[in-house]
Structure formats: structure tokens, C-alpha cells
Amino acid sequence: MTLPNWITFSRLLGIPFLLYGLHNPTPESRLVCLAIFLVAALTDWLDGYLARKLNQISDLGKFLDPLVDKLLVLAPLLALIELGQVPAWGVFLILARELAIAGWRVNQSTITGANIWGKLKTVSQIVAIALLIAPLPERWLLTALISFWVSVALTIISGVIYLLPSRDVVSVHDG
């Protein structure tokens, strides 16, 4: 396994700490969770950078990276549902898109990396979750919630865009 793949895998280690810290959050535990989440999110950039720089892009990395990203995003979102900070149906939309894309990818002979819409989706989710986890003053709650809904919208848009080329290829061959 390559160094970038090890870094990707290491992001999983932060998830139990996030879930524990958000179970009965205090302002201090929220700060710790925010730090853990942001460090884990930064390693998403680091593993991609190293994979390209060291010429260690692999099919395992193309598969593992988005899977770990999904877990890193969905774990705190589930905790935020429990805390009543986000509605379950918004998180369900994110989950449904992620499962649809993952299911679609399983049937592909080659695994492609994320396009610009997938990257925007990931960044918007990281920003939204960071704002929702952070112990911010009440006046920031609306901003955090708006960022969550922007991330939901980008998640859906990126999923549709990701699947559109495959429909074009199918329709050309069928017709």
C-alpha cells in the first residue's frame, strides 16, 4: 500500500473521536472535534497531492479516498442529526447521492477521480460541517445552516453531473 493510501486510511481514525466528542458536546469538546475534523479533511488534500507528486495514483486510492470522504462527512452529520442541528432528510439526500454514485462506480471497469463538481461538493461539506461543529455564537447558526443546504444542493448537482456522461455514452450505443 502506498503512502497516499495510508494517509487516506488514517482519516478513519478520527471518526470515533468525532462521534464520542459530539455525543454530549461541550464548547471544549466541539473545539477538539473541529480540530480533528479539519486535520482529517486536510489529509484529503495531502493524500491527493502526494499521489500525484510521487506518481502513486492507484485504483485502490481512487476507490478508498471517496469512501473515506463519505464516512468522514456522514459520521458527524449523523451526530448533528441527533443533536437536532440538521434535519435527517437533508442528510438522507447526501447519503442517497453517495450510495448511488458508489453503486454506479462498482459497475465501472475503470474508476475515475473526482471532477470539479465533486471537489466543490467535498469542500462545501467540509465548510458546513466545520461551522456546525464549531462552538459558534448563536448569530452564526443561520450561516452554518445555510452552508449545510448549499452543500446538500452541490451534492445533488455533482451527482447528476457525474452520471450524465454515462447516459450519453449509453444512448449513443443504443441508438
Q: Is the pLDDT of residue 16 over 70?
A: yes
Rounded-to-integer distance, Cα 26 and Cα 93, Å: 28
The dihedral region occupied by 108, where left means phi > 0, alpha psi between -120 and 50, and beta the remainder, is beta
The whole-model pTM stands at 0.84
Identify the pLDDT of residue 110. Answer: 65
What are the b/e assignments for 12-42, b being 16+ CB within 10 Å?
Answer: eebbebbeebbeebeeebbebbbebbbebbe
Identify the pLDDT of residue 140. Answer: 95
Identify the pLDDT of residue 101. Answer: 83
| Digit-coded pLDDT (tens) for 88-109 | 999 999 999 988 887 776 776 6
Q: Is the pLDDT of residue 157 over 80?
A: yes
| Digit-coded pLDDT (tens) for 44-88 | 889 989 999 999 988 888 778 888 888 999 999 999 999 999 999
CB 2 within 8 A of CB 54: yes
